[in-house]
């Protein structure tokens, strides 16, 4: 149950981040919007890989989904680092 709760929290946080990135992308010009789309892609991949694999494992799915979870975490980290870099550069 704790793993399911963790996946749910990460999904909620990053879904809200995706909404905020979408709002920002509508407000800025094309070059910045393309970079925000990349960040959104990282977050979306993270949701599917990290949260999805934890959901599958928590519901008794095959154990080979376990190694997929860190790839989702890496996607989340890549998205946040890219976002920080984008704003520091700006």
pLDDT digits (tens, 9 = 90+) for 41-83: 999 999 999 999 999 999 998 998 889 999 999 999 999 999 9
d(C-alpha 55, C-alpha 39), whole Å: 23
pLDDT-based confidence at residue 40 (cuts at 50, 70, 90): very high
Q: Return the sign of the alpha-carbon dihedral for residues 80, 35, 19, 74.
A: negative
Answer yes or no: is pLDDT of 29 > 80.
Answer: no
- In eight-state DSSP terms, residue 28 is S
Quote the tokens at residue 45: 């991949």
pLDDT-based confidence at residue 30 (cuts at 50, 70, 90): confident
Q: Can you give the pLDDT at residue 6?
A: 92
d(C-alpha 21, C-alpha 1), whole Å: 30
* DSSP per-residue codes, 61-72: --GGGGGGHHHH
pTM of the model: 0.90
């Amino acid at each position: 149950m704790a793993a399911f709760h963790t996946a749910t929290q990460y999904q909620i946080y990053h879904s809200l981040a995706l909404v905020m990135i979408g709002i920002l992308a509508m407000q800025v010009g094309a070059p910045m919007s393309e970079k925000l789309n990349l960040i959104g892609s990282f977050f979306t991949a993270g949701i599917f890989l990290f949260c999805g694999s934890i959901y599958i494992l928590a519901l008794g799915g095959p154990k080979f989904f376990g190694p997929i979870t860190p790839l989702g975490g890496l996607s989340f980290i890549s998205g946040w680092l890219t976002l920080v870099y984008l704003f520091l550069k700006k």
